[in-house]
Amino acid sequence: MIEEVTIPEISENVESGTIIRVLVAVGDMIDIDDVLVEFETEKALVEIPSTVKGKIAELLAKEGDEMRVGDVIARVDTDGEADQKDTAASAAPAEEARKEKEADPDQGVPEKPSLAQGPGKVEAEVAESEKAAAPTAEKPAGTPEPAETQKKTEDRTADRGPAPASPSVRRLARELGVDIYAVKAAKPGGRITEADVKAFVKKGEPAVRTAPPGAAPTETPGEPGLPDFSRWGEVETVALDGVRRITAANMSAAWRTVPHVTQFDQADITGLQDFISKNAAKVAQNGGKLTLTAILVKVCAAVLKRFERFNASIDPVNRQLILKKYVHIGIAADTPRGLLVPVVRHADQKSISRLAAEITDLADRARNKKLKPDEMEGGTFTLSNQGGIGGVGFTPVVFWPQAAILGVSRASIMPRYIDGEFKPRSMLPLSLSFDHRIIDGADAARFLRWVCESLEHPLTMVLE
């Protein structure tokens, strides 16, 4: 009996991914829970196991293939184990039959496969036979050229009439570079809303439109086609991997959706550095590494409880502000695969020592491709620390639908005027990007100043 092994439902909102590695081959005997492929989706690498036991009759997944949830990875002959035991006994007759076919060409004509072989095997053999017998396809006379095809596509679009959406929704789709006819309505009645358009963009769907004549098509909504760069010199084309492709789509959607503003400030962390040096060994005993990132997560968790709008999301369609009572902080991690953002859950309920251990574990697994998809979901605020690399400041992009993100650059020794004289102090540059639809500039300044004062004087966090 032929059984199909498919891509299972991995996580909420995960619909597709890329086959990174195939670990089996046709003819292999597999058991239940044996890993068949490594599947990269939503910035995580997932091992897909077999759900049946038997021999692989057909392998549909190939390295580099884009596959969706529900697609068939392999077809498995669950009777294959018994067939394998009979292989030795049937080897001699099979060899004789092969020699007879070589002597008599008429015997080489394939017969119609029997239904007893199983539906999957029958379909595979019929398809193979038809493929071998089919003549090479030639371009039929009268096939329209690309320019004619483009014109017909435009004519069909004009004939469809207005899309089932309000003028403001259609305008939003145009601004985002989305074909409104490709968007599906989530609510009954077929009326397309702003939420449907934004969900379409968030999923990373390409804009369905024709590139200008002579320009290469693009999958990023709202971007024009590129010129032919080879006209001016040698070029190399490299395919975007899964992480970079997803990052590009998400950042484009965030930049178009969120009206960004960035607030800057500096914190004196001279005393904090002494605290880290004195307590690093104690935290290491618990499996963590005491870093500025761990302390910042604790401080951010406290400030988010005080300034609740920074821990919210806006719903412009229903004119609502969603205030989250939980604090899940994403930590932007630089890995060989690209930017990953694992999430520390309930950061407000954990000690600095526990946060340090959890951040160390998440960072190690991010670099080693061991993060699970749900460990990068549900963040309410994000921290991006580039101090280990360098720089004096940057403007981070808000991870929509979050409201804000804190950027951290490298601390440097600067003179500060204290008690009538200049003293060398270690100053930490901070940059807070926020969604101006939710947060006003004055609130952002207060938020960031509270963070700075908590780093300089930790008791500020428990003063009120």
Distance between CA 23 and CA 39 in Å, rounded?
11
Distance between CA 452 and CA 269 in Å, rounded?
9
Q: Report the Cα 323 to chain-centroid distance in Å.
A: 25
Place of tokens 């605290």: 275
Among the listed residues 260, 328, 346, 436, the single catalytic one is: 436
Distance between CA 133 and CA 28 in Å, rounded?
29
396 within 8 A of 264, measured Cβ to Cβ: no
Q: Which residues pair with 385 in a beta bridge?
A: 408
Q: Which two tokens stand for residue 387?
A: 């101090």
Distance between CA 48 and CA 462 in Å, rounded?
47
Distance between CA 266 and CA 303 in Å, rounded?
16
Which letter does DSSP use for residue 427 in this model?
A: E
To the query of whether residue 436 is one of the catalytic residues in this protein, the response is yes
| 160 HSE (CA, 13 A, CB side) | 13
Distance between CA 77 and CA 257 in Å, rounded?
49
Please list, residue by residue across 277-287, b when 16 or more beta carbons sit within 10 angstroms of its beta carbon and e when fewer do: eeeeeebeeee
Distance between CA 296 and CA 305 in Å, rounded?
14
Q: Which two tokens stand for residue 368?
A: 């080693």
What residues are labeled active site?
436
